[in-house]
A = this chain, B = another copy of it.
Amino acid sequence: MKPIVGIVAGSDSDLPVMEEAVKILESFGIGYEFTIASAHRSPEKTRGYSRSAEDRGVKVIIAGAGWAAHLAGAIAAETTIPVIGVPIDSSPLLGLDSILSTLQMPSGIPVATMSVGKTGAKNAAILAVQILAVGDKSLQKKLKAYKQKLSDEVEEKDNRIKGEKAKR
């Protein structure tokens, strides 16, 4: 399947977090590529990746990093395709550093910032699907089904709890 979403992790220690994005994309049947590139340790690779992404057919990029998380911003500086940032809570500051480093982008260069950690990686993939669905009816349908499932799961859990409470 041709990759149309690029997932980039700033370090291999971020892989377990970014796998959450992978799972969502696979469940929606969307082709992706997975890359490790560091804005600080491998800037050349990061730049090359960002600059060639559009030509390679990538439509959206998801970038996750911890600490002074510059990865999403560095990619956004080099491309005009939408970049989604996932702040990762790998430093002792619980992600406050990566949240502010990813979020507070200066005028002109947006990064679509997600919640911190695994929840953010998962949501990043859903947002990527939403972006791709802007021009794709079949994806829109899948998103509506996914949204319905989220709601159904709450209903189920609610029913299970109520059942358990009734039995007590």
Q: Using a CB–CB distance below 8 Å, which chain A residues touch chain B? A: 10-12, 15, 34-45, 47, 54, 59-60, 66-68, 70, 73-74, 76-78, 80-82, 84, 89, 91-110, 112-117, 119, 122-124, 126-127, 130-135, 140, 143-144, 146-147, 150-151, 153-155, 157-158, 161-162, 165
CB of A154 to closest CB in B, whole Å: 4
CB of A12 to closest CB in B, whole Å: 4
Copies assembled: 8
- Docked pose: A11 CA to B157 CA in angstroms: 8
User: What are 17 of the A-B contact pairs (CB < 8 Å)?
Assistant: A34-B165, A36-B154, A36-B158, A38-B154, A40-B77, A40-B108, A40-B109, A41-B108, A43-B78, A66-B106, A67-B106, A70-B74, A81-B134, A93-B96, A93-B100, A105-B115, A108-B122
Q: Which residues of B contact A12 (CB under 8 A)?
A: 157, 161
CB of A58 to closest CB in B, whole Å: 10
Q: Which residues of B contact A115 (CB under 8 A)?
A: 67-68, 91, 103-106
Asked if residues A68 and B67 are in contact (CB atoms below 8 Å), the reply is no
Q: Which residues of B contact A36 (CB under 8 A)?
A: 154, 157-158, 161
CB of A42 to closest CB in B, whole Å: 4
CB of A136 to closest CB in B, whole Å: 8
- Docked pose: A59 CA to B73 CA in angstroms: 24
- Docked pose: A77 CA to B68 CA in angstroms: 13
